[in-house]
A and B are shown apart, each in its own frame.
Chain A
Amino acid sequence: MEKAITIKNLKYQYDQNQPLFDGLNLNIEQGQWVALVGHNGSGKSTLAKLILGLLVADEGEIAVLGQTLSEDSVDEIRSQIGMVFQNPDNQFVGATVADDVAFGLENLEVPSEAMPAKIQAALEVVGMEEFTDREPHHLSGGQKQRVALASVLALEPKIIILDEATAMLDPDGRQMVQATLKKLKQLYGSELTLITITHDMDEASLADRVVVVNDGQLVMDGQPNQVFAQGATLAKIGLELPFSMQLIQRLDPRPQNYMNQQELLAWLSPLNK
């Protein structure tokens, strides 16, 4: 199967003295959920912009679903990728939730009779089907981000990139969006590649694979439990371990490997008997 994204020897700098990416290589398989983590300014959002062709690399090659990114292919590549940004209030154009989801479809010249079913289906996936006629500004942050996700889903992308999409949400909103992402993975399986850019390690722990970026370099790449086993390295680059791992480090006796909160609760359970 073709890779969802292939990045070869990518070089990019904002200004002359400060190369950000200096020969970056990264492959992302189709159907993978990859969490791209790093501190503010580590280059993870820039990487997303390069993949989308919003920024142009100085050197190297980016391919999306087997197609090399170029001036000629950028439009087609963008049609395969859906993007959800950080600020839920900057993403709305429609007067109602349904209008908002319709906007992208209109741009793709989807016939109007085909739209209602597509809109309804997309809103159902994110659990917002009862809000079709609501005005977006009356929704909570978590609801807005789910509508933004529905707008993207309606366009049937192969890849969705969420750039700090939960960073501005309150804890309820964050949980809502994370639960929706888990549901998407179950629904679409290998049909959908998810890339979540985040510095929330609890969110990263939901992914199949965690890629840690620091100063434009890939410093770690592996399953969440492999990455979280290297707490000292993460701390050195300004990242925090997930809560469960921080707790594990303070326990006596303690499990030998990373566990998420549910696994840790189960592990602790017999110790109280």
Chain B
Amino acid sequence: MAITFEQVNFSYGQGSLAQPILKDISTTIPSGKITAIIGQTGSGKSTLVQHINGLLKPTNGKVIVNDFELSSQTKEKQLTALRAQVGMVFQFPESQLFANTVLEDVMYGPLNFGKDRLAAKEAAQAALTMVGLPSQHWDKSPFALSGGQMRRVAIAGTLALNPPIIVLDEPAAGLDPLGQAELVELMLGLKKQGKTVVLISHQMDQVMAVADWTLVMHQGQVVAAESPKTLFNRPLSWFKEVHLDLPTAGQFAQQLVAQGWQFKERPLTLEQLAQAINQEVAIHE
């Protein structure tokens, strides 16, 4: 399910006090793919994704999600239809856990959207399985779990509604390497099921590992919409301008270039970097 932004502007406040946050954004987030939205803090990423499920409405322009059109005129009542399509996982979602048991917490969404208890339970169990939380934890209090497990319960709460679009705002922040690797698997699994995944991330290595498409935000505008490979081959001066880093491997390669090394193509992953270095060393032996 694709998401299209047509000349979207968004400002906080009105008239002379208006503070423009999103400026004339026209772009499409492709259906059935993982799209990473990147940009420095304050560039407008979170504001942009809050337009996907109608938490914010554009001041001008429209957002089209499947056949739903979101504009300044959209009524609150109509938004229920949109929110059933779009699951949102906010930053540090574990802070929103509240129920007595893990299972009850994940069932809350389906119950709220009108499912009976049996159907809600089945949906919750399926979602908890999908996020890889073993069933021995399902009857525990969510607050008895570790941080990484709580994060998974919170994500399961969104997945239990089975939305075709899932938006994740910095889902890996604070997770250990294992937790991050599991999250990458989860996102790839969601894509396999045909879901559209939108990911806000500060971690360029993660973007390189999972994203099919990237949107780069800078000062309220989308300044790049392309594949990660195209993006990370842009000139270094451009990255400086938008305050972004290359993936770690690319940064290391760049330091070698500064020492006089030459690479045919900029290495962007650990494997590519190791291979490129080994080749160069073999040539000079």
Interfacial residues, chain A to chain B (CB-CB below 8 A): 14-15, 39-41, 86-87, 140-141, 164, 167-168, 170-173, 199, 238-240, 243, 246-247, 250-253, 261, 265, 268-269, 271-273
CA distance in complex: A253, B280 (Å): 12
Q: Which residues of A contact B259 (CB under 8 A)?
A: 265, 268-269, 272
Interface string of B257-272 (1 = CB under 8 A from A): 0011100000000110
A40-B149, A247-B270 given; 11 more Cβ-contact pairs under 8 Å = A15-B144, A40-B175, A40-B176, A41-B145, A164-B174, A243-B270, A250-B271, A261-B255, A265-B252, A272-B259, A273-B284
Q: Which residues of A contact B261 (CB under 8 A)?
A: 272
Q: Which residues of B contact A268 (CB under 8 A)?
A: 256, 259, 277, 281
Q: Which chain B residue lies CB-closest to A140? A: B41
B192 at the A interface (CB under 8 A): no
B117 at the A interface (CB under 8 A): no
User: B94 to chain A: closest CB distance in Å?
Assistant: 11
CA distance in complex: A267, B205 (Å): 24
Q: Which residues of B contact A86 (CB under 8 A)?
A: 174
Instruction: Check B252 against A247 for contact (C-beta < 8 Å).
Output: yes
Q: Which chain A residue lies CB-closest to B204? A: A171
A-B contact pairs, 7 of them (CB 8 A): A15-B144, A140-B42, A171-B203, A238-B176, A238-B177, A251-B281, A252-B281
B273 at the A interface (CB under 8 A): yes
Contact of A199 (CB < 8 Å), options: B177, B252, B274: B177
User: A77 to chain B: closest CB distance in Å?
Assistant: 26
User: B186 to chain A: closest CB distance in Å?
Assistant: 15
Interface string of B175-193 (1 = CB under 8 A from A): 1111100000000000000
Q: A239-B177, A268-B256 are in contact. Are A41 and B148 (CB under 8 A)?
A: yes
Instruction: Check B174 against A167 for contact (C-beta < 8 Å).
Output: yes
A-B CB contacts (within 8 Å), total count:
91
Q: Which chain B residue lies CB-closest to A272? A: B261
Instruction: Check B179 against A251 for contact (C-beta < 8 Å).
Output: no
Q: Which residues of A contact B11 (CB under 8 A)?
A: none
CA distance in complex: A246, B205 (Å): 14
B92 at the A interface (CB under 8 A): yes
Instruction: Check B92 against A87 for contact (C-beta < 8 Å).
Output: yes
Instruction: Check A250 against B274 for contact (C-beta < 8 Å).
Output: yes
Interface string of B34-61 (1 = CB under 8 A from A): 0000001110000000000000000000
CA distance in complex: A23, B112 (Å): 47
User: B282 to chain A: closest CB distance in Å?
Assistant: 8
Instruction: Check A170 against B40 for contact (C-beta < 8 Å).
Output: yes
Contact of A39 (CB < 8 Å), options: B92, B173, B178, B243: B178
B149, B177, B245, B249 — most chain A CB neighbours (10 Å): B177
CA distance in complex: A145, B248 (Å): 24
Instruction: Check B176 against A272 for contact (C-beta < 8 Å).
Output: no
Instruction: Check A40 against B146 for contact (C-beta < 8 Å).
Output: yes
Q: Which chain B residue lies CB-closest to A237? A: B178
Contact of B144 (CB < 8 Å), options: A14, A39, A239, A269: A14
What 8 A-B pairs are tightest by C-beta distance, nearest first? A41-B146, A250-B274, A238-B178, A40-B148, A240-B177, A199-B176, A167-B174, A39-B176
Instruction: Check A171 against B202 for contact (C-beta < 8 Å).
Output: yes
Interface string of B190-225 (1 = CB under 8 A from A): 000000000000110000000000000000000000
B147 at the A interface (CB under 8 A): yes
CA distance in complex: A86, B203 (Å): 18
Q: Which residues of A contact B248 (CB under 8 A)?
A: 243
Contact of B256 (CB < 8 Å), options: A39, A40, A265: A265
Q: Which residues of B contact A168 (CB under 8 A)?
A: 92, 173-174
Contact of B243 (CB < 8 Å), options: A172, A253, A261: A172
Instruction: Check A171 against B245 for contact (C-beta < 8 Å).
Output: yes
CA distance in complex: A251, B245 (Å): 24
